[in-house]
Chains A and B, each alone.
Chain A
C-alpha cells in the first residue's frame, strides 16, 4: 500500500525533518451525502506510529479533526543519512497503511 503514503526525510543540521502524506477520506461521521442525505459513516485514521531504524519515535492518536488526506511533519534528532524512517497507521475500520523512507 505504498502508493497511499508519500514520505520525505531530509537532514537539517543534525535533525531529520520528516514529512508524511497519507491518502485517506478522514470522514467524520457527521457529514451527509449531498445526494442521498444519509450520514457518511465515520472512516478515519486513528493511530499512527513512526519509527527510526525500527525504534518508535512518535506515537500518535488521531480523531476525526485531522484534515482529509492527512499531512504530518515531525523531526528526529540524532539521525543520519541512510537511516530508515517508517510509518505505520491504522484506521477505525482496521485498514493498515505503512510507508518507509531512507533519510537523504
Chain B
C-alpha cells in the first residue's frame, strides 16, 4: 500500500498532478502525518507554556533520561544533541531549549519497534538549559543539561 503510494507520489509529482489527485480525493493531504503540527507549542515564547501546550507538563525529574550534549558549544547554530530514555514504555520525547526565542525544538513519537532514542542537531541562541521530556505509561518525565554557548545561533 505504502509502496504503491510512494511510487504514485513520485510519478504524480513529476507531472504536477498531486493537486489534482488531492482534489479528486485520492490523497488526503497530510495523510502520512498522524497529527497536525502543534503550532501552539512551537510558537510559545515561554518554556513553561511550550511544555504545557506540548502536553509534557507536570513531569517528574528522572535520571533515566540520558542526554548527551556538549558542555560548551562554540557555535550555537549547530549543537549536537542525543537523548535516550531508559523508562519502560516510553511513547514520545520532546526537546526544549529554555532560552531560545521559541523554546520547543521538536517532538518524536516512537512506535513499531523504534527505540526511545533520538540524535539530532539543534540551534541555541545563548547559554541555556536543554530539557528532554518523555511520555511513558501515562506519566511525564523530564531531565535537563546546561550547554554554554559562545556564539549564538539565532537572530544573528
Contacts and interface: CB of A to CB of B under 8 A. Distances in A.
Nearest to A30: B155
Contacts of A46: 37, 42
A78 interface: yes
A8 interface: no
A73 B120 contact: yes
A70 B33 contact: no
Contacts, number: 140
A103 interface: no
B153 to A, nearest CB: 7
A61 B32 CA distance: 13
Contact of B2 (A32, A51, A76, A90): A51
Interface core residue of B32, B102, B103, B156 (most chain A CB under 10 Å): B32
Interface in A52-104: 52, 54-68, 70-79, 86, 88, 90, 96, 98, 100
- Chain A interface residue bracket vs B: 35 or more
Contact of A56 (B34, B77, B119): B34
Nearest to B33: A47
B100 interface: yes
B112 A56 contact: yes
Interface of B: 1-3, 6, 9-10, 13, 30, 32-35, 37-38, 42, 77-79, 82, 95, 97, 100-115, 117-123, 153-156
The 3 A-B pairs of least Cβ separation, nearest first, read A73-B119, A54-B2, A65-B105
Interface of A: 15, 19, 26, 28, 30-32, 34, 46-47, 49-52, 54-68, 70-79, 86, 88, 90, 96, 98, 100
